[in-house]
Chains A and B, each alone.
Chain A
Amino acid sequence: GESVGLHLPTLSVQEGDNSIINCAYSNSASDYFIWYKQESGKGPQFIIDIRSNMDKRQGQRVTVLLNKTVKHLSLQIAATQPGDSAVYFCAENRAAGNKLTFGGGTRVLVKP
């Protein structure tokens, strides 16, 4: 079936290193992708988004890459900080309406 999933359930990163979180999707008709950060006890926080007519988008310390050929997107966090420790979700927003389909999440643990 159609799904959005993540390759790694947990990622341990040394403070100051770069983090890369990967996500696969299966619906080639998807046209909008979002990365969310969720800290314990809180709702998902919007980080960055990308539309299918782009292959790269940069924000503050974050970069999202989209590879439509292999239906893969990634989130890169530069100079990872302790405050980046959280669960990260990719979500797919399909053309028909604003229904978001989420993957299972990757937990990022930042080691001091």
Chain B
Amino acid sequence: DAGVTQSPTHLIKTRGQQVTLRCSPKSGHDTVSWYQQALGQGPQFIFQYYEEEERQRGNFPDRFSGHQFPNYSSELNVNALLLGDSALYLCASTGTYNEQFFGPGTRLTVL
């Protein structure tokens, strides 16, 4: 049984560009959450998707948007990239008892 998978592993972009990150949840999990983890800090909640809709959102600007597909996979889009968007972006899927399992993350560097 594959765990949560994310792609790409690493990404380098320049300021002002747009980026799309992808996530596939664990088999049987229908809820996907995205987190941003700056270097040396704990992950910060961005938003959560369930039944193809955004169910909860953290304190992130509208430049951060997402999507969930019928197969429960999800995308995170960030527009107009800023240097401060450089971070590890984590995807988590939710299990039966509300435990969250994380993927390996995508390391985004904005130059």
Chain A contacts to B: CB under 8 angstroms: 32, 34, 36, 41-46, 49, 89, 91, 93, 97-105
Q: Which residues of B contact A34 (CB under 8 A)?
A: 99-100
Q: Assess whether B109 is interfacial by the CB under 8 Å rule.
A: no
Main secondary structure of the interface of A (DSSP, over half): strand
Q: Is the CB of A32 within 8 A of B43?
A: no
Q: Assess whether B84 is interfacial by the CB under 8 Å rule.
A: no
Q: Assess whether B48 is interfacial by the CB under 8 Å rule.
A: yes
Q: Which residues of A contact B31 (CB under 8 A)?
A: 98
Please report which residues of chain B, range 73-111, place their CB below 8 angstroms from some CB of chain A when the two chains form the complex: 90, 92, 94, 97-105
Q: Is the CB of A102 within 8 A of B104?
A: no
Nearest chain A CB to B5 CB, angstrom units:
11
User: What count of chain B residues pass the 8 Å CB interface test?
Assistant: 26
Q: Given contacts A43-B102, A46-B101, is CB(A102)–CB(B56) below 8 Å?
A: no
Q: Is the CB of A100 within 8 A of B33?
A: yes
Q: Which residues of B contact A49 (CB under 8 A)?
A: 97, 99
Q: Assess whether B55 is interfacial by the CB under 8 Å rule.
A: yes
Please report which residues of chain B, range 52-83, place their CB below 8 angstroms from some CB of chain A when the two chains form the complex: 55-56, 58
Q: Which residues of B contact A101 (CB under 8 A)?
A: 45
Nearest chain A CB to B46 CB, angstrom units:
10
Alpha-carbon separation in the docked complex, A103 to B40 (Å) = 11
Q: Which residues of B contact A105 (CB under 8 A)?
A: 40-42
Residue of A42, A93, A100 most packed against chain B (CB within 10 A): A100
List the 7 closest pairs (A to B, CB-CB), nearest first: A102-B42, A43-B102, A97-B56, A44-B102, A43-B104, A43-B105, A99-B45
